[in-house]
């Protein structure tokens, strides 16, 4: 039922629902990480300038990867590219959680797909846009892109807000700015 509300008439649910769900989950994580990452890096003992360098490296690396995939991604199947991007995102997150030295983190930040902002600046963007454009036509395509954007915005908002609630989660994910 929810799937039919998300996917406009004339578009196959099975073609776009995984993209919309992935967008929502990734947006939630982006919103959560946008608040958590600087606090985590400061708690590791990095100064504000190092946190800025790491955040800049993540944005620069993601921008470069997005440009490369946008220009050359058509050479490989979209599904394989999306799975590779998801694997890269998981490895990036695990690496950030397990490494605390600046230079390795800087390389991981540039090569990986960690998003320190609440906007979607990742390799997923051109891949998902291409799949969505193929899935619908005319007004259905416009509605599909609007819902994709809305899902992303709401996911980020919920991710940012969830950083403070429930209180039990705050103790599990590390320091908050007011502790």
pLDDT tens-digit series, residues 5-31 = 888 888 888 889 999 999 999 999 888
CA–CA gap between residue 13 and residue 1 (Å, rounded): 11
- Residue 118 is classified by DSSP as S
Residue 84 lies in a domain: yes
CB under 8 Å to 174, separation ≥6 — which residues? 36, 39, 40, 43
The CATH number for 74's domain is 1.20.1250.20
pLDDT tier at 179 (50, 70, 90 boundaries)?
Answer: very low
Does residue 151 lie within any of the structural domains? yes
In a domain, 123, yes or no: yes
With respect to residue 10, please indicate whether it lies within any of the assigned structural domains: no
- Note if the pTM is more than 0.95: no
Task: Compute the average pLDDT of residues 154-162.
Answer: 90
Residue 175, domain member (yes or no): no
Residue 117 included in any domain = yes
Q: From 31, 6, 28, 1, select the one nearest 143 (Cα to Cα).
A: 6
Residue 176 has pLDDT above 60, yes or no: no
Number of domains in the chain: 1
Q: Which two tokens stand for residue 118?
A: 């609440």
Average pLDDT over residues 135-153: 91
**In contact, 17 and 7? CB cutoff 8 Å:** yes
Residue span of the structural domain in which 112 resides: 16-167
Residue 20 counted as domain residue: yes
For residue 50, what pLDDT is reported?
A: 96
Cβ–Cβ < 8 Å for 9, 138: no
Helix (H, G, I), strand (E, B) or coil at 128: helix
């Amino acid at each position: 039922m929810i799937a039919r509300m998300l996917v406009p008439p004339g578009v196959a649910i099975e073609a776009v629902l995984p993209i919309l769900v992935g967008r929502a989950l990734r947006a939630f994580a982006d919103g959560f990480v946008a608040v958590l990452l600087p606090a985590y890096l400061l708690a590791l003992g990095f100064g504000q300038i190092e946190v800025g360098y790491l955040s800049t490296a993540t944005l620069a690396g993601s921008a470069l990867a997005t440009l490369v995939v946008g220009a050359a991604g058509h050479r490989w199947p979209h599904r394989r590219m999306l799975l590779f991007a998801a694997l890269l995102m998981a490895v990036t997150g695990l690496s950030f959680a397990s490494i605390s030295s600046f230079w390795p983190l800087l390389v991981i930040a540039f090569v990986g797909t960690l998003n320190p902002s609440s906007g979607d600046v990742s390799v997923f963007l051109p891949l998902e846009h291409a799949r969505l454009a193929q899935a619908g036509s005319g007004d259905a395509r416009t509605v599909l892109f609007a819902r994709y954007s809305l899902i992303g915005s709401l996911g980020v908002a919920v991710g940012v807000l969830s950083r403070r609630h429930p209180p039990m989660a705050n103790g599990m994910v590390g320091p908050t700015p007011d502790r």
